[in-house]
Structure 1
Amino acid sequence: MIDYSKILPEKVVKMKPSGIRKFFDIANEMDNVISLGVGEPDFQTPWTIRDAAILSLERGQTRYTSNWGLMELRKEIANYLKRRFDISYDPKNEIVVTVGGSEGIDICIRALLNEGDEVLIPEPCFVCYDPIVSLCGGVPVPVPTKAEDNFRLTPEALKARITPKTKLLILPYPNNPTGAVMRREHLEAIAEVIRGTDIMVLSDEIYSELTYSSSHVSIASLEGMWERTIVINGFSKSYSMTGWRLGYACGPEPILHQMIKIHQFAIMCAPSTSQYAAIEALRHCDPQIRMMVEDYDMRRRLTADGFNRIGLSCFEPEGAFYVFPCIKSTGLSSEEFCEKLLFSKRVAVVPGNAFGASGEGYIRVSYSYSVEHIIEAIKRIEEFINTL
């Protein structure tokens, strides 16, 4: 009999499963559940994108592409980033097409870290950064953000966590789970701290198109920041293409040259059908993005107003498609609140501590669901807190 505890690496065994999926999986086995837990657009992928994918299959365009991705797609990505965010990349050697933004994050971190390097991670944040850093032998250093700062990273909080071992800052804005956005003036303050150091920046901009009260600004567009920033983006959220698994990473060629080696051996190339579909998305789907953003904006205000009305204070998020209401007034922990709500009122949301210790006392609610579902969920949550 094999003793697997002697075989499996300790750092893998110690990894906690995703707190997002835990409640989603429980809800899937229950009846009459309204789930506001998973961050996935409820829009179908636009037909013009699907048609482009179908046409590529009919043409038999199903072979491996370049490890970097189709040159035609990389040119369209470069054009898109220039016209939308005023950042320039050479499609030949400064853009790599990845299997979702997730792979881009993974190979960026793996390409940059040595054993013991510290990575600054603003929290609350998406669940993948900490475990990837740990698997690479790096040291995750959480940088708590606060509701009174609208969950933005402040230069003071950043300075307090920098040490001689700091290698990388992860900048996840617009933010999942809080919906926080870093405007130009906030990014300038962060850039001022970073300039003159050897600290690199991983800017996760997967929600860049989903901003509401201001236009998205990439830190790579600021003076002196392009050469130290890897921009991660993709098609899942903006184009409602989650299952297509397509993203991209952009940055200086010396860094991309190392990232592509990891990509070659682990992945080979992103799915060719998805790449042909993405060319169409970038060329012709700006109107569909605007339509989806307008709809999300309406749901955003509806959801935030709903939670404030029932007594769970919620700052108005400026990006992504999440609200992050405070549940401290209930006297329950985040996990207790979510578990009791699920079993008593059949509403699934995600505990804030799934996104780091500083998320305790909050819950993440996605409004990428129908208005009817949002209204009914808030009604049930109000009934729940009235019983406490």
Structure 2
Amino acid sequence: MNPCLKLLASVWLLLASGWAVGYPSDWTNYNPSSTDAVRDTTIGSTQQLLEQRGTVECIACHGETNDQYSGVINTIDITQQTMAAAMSCMDWELRGACVWMSCVVPPICTFTTSIKVKNFVPDLVVQSYDRANGEPWTESQDINQVSQGTSDSSWVTTMISWVENYNVTEVRGGQSNEAVKNDHVNLDFKLVDAYGNPALIAYNAMATGLFGMVCSGRSFPFFPYYISNLDSIAWRWNLPELFYPQSWAVGVPAYNLGTMTNNYGSIFPRMGFLTQADGLKSAVLTSFRAMHFITRTFEPHLYFSIGQPSEDGYWPAGPLDQNDKDTGVFQMLYPDNESSCAQFPMSAMPGPSKRSSDGSYVWNFWKAYKCCQRVGQTLVWHSG
């Protein structure tokens, strides 16, 4: 037989075999030629099929409207844990001096000096979790539930329906680990939110009372800088980052969180889905992904940036970079109450105390700032 005909025959047999065994027999209305039928059938029966194959952690429970979950940490806990770690995490340094000029009637001017310091500020509380009504930070639940419906916010749901013609009432989130011997699927999905740290009220009061010896923060306590369920098109559907070159640079160290021997996964695309067998590492990576764009401006997500330009007397560190400690360190608040901060990723084998039994994780995000007290009209020189 002609080699070309052999190739065509082989391809046809493979396709025919796929059609014959590629879907369960109970899909009576399944039509491979209809994308709508394929979509609705697969989405509608995914949960049922997974339950038949093994234990499933919280796919259908995403967005439970009658959920009475009360969270695992509250505002008082966060404030106390943040302030308890302040002396360690702020990492205070004396960096130099600033010279200020004040002119009443030029050229009659006076010069005054103030010290320049550097310290970390607890800008945000970041939470990574599995269920839309299962936010680990108790007080964040009310804000989130006002902002979103059973699966997504109403306007995002409308957008998805319009763009994809998707049956969004069947779209759920959460974590899927199928407990079947020799058939373990590690597709994971995490929701991530970032709120202004409530401890900033106490922290900034302390900084103000020290008269320029400590840099204060400028994030707004409790303000929702990012709610992933409102960012569904980017966080769930991976648009437009699917088309970023970084998203296809598999194995490139610059686009992976960690090292060759301790790799938590790819930073891009910055979405909630990932392939990871370790729930803690999933939470670390998705939290890092969210903070990666929250610390930047003009990124293709729905968020409020904490990235700030420098100004006289106040110099924020740059966007989050795993190779630059000043751009961001993390303090675990739940499940472990850490009294120190560290860069992401964590170790290759985090201990049991770092692992949550419910898939919820909460961190403080600390970022470095340099500042000097303004004691004049114009900054004319500074060091450090």
What interval of TM-score do these two structures reach, taking the shorter chain for normalisation? under 0.3
Which has more strand, going by share of residues? 2
What is the TM-score of this pair, normalised by structure 1?
Answer: 0.25
What is the TM-score of this pair, normalised by structure 2?
Answer: 0.25
Which structure has the greater CA radius of gyration? 2
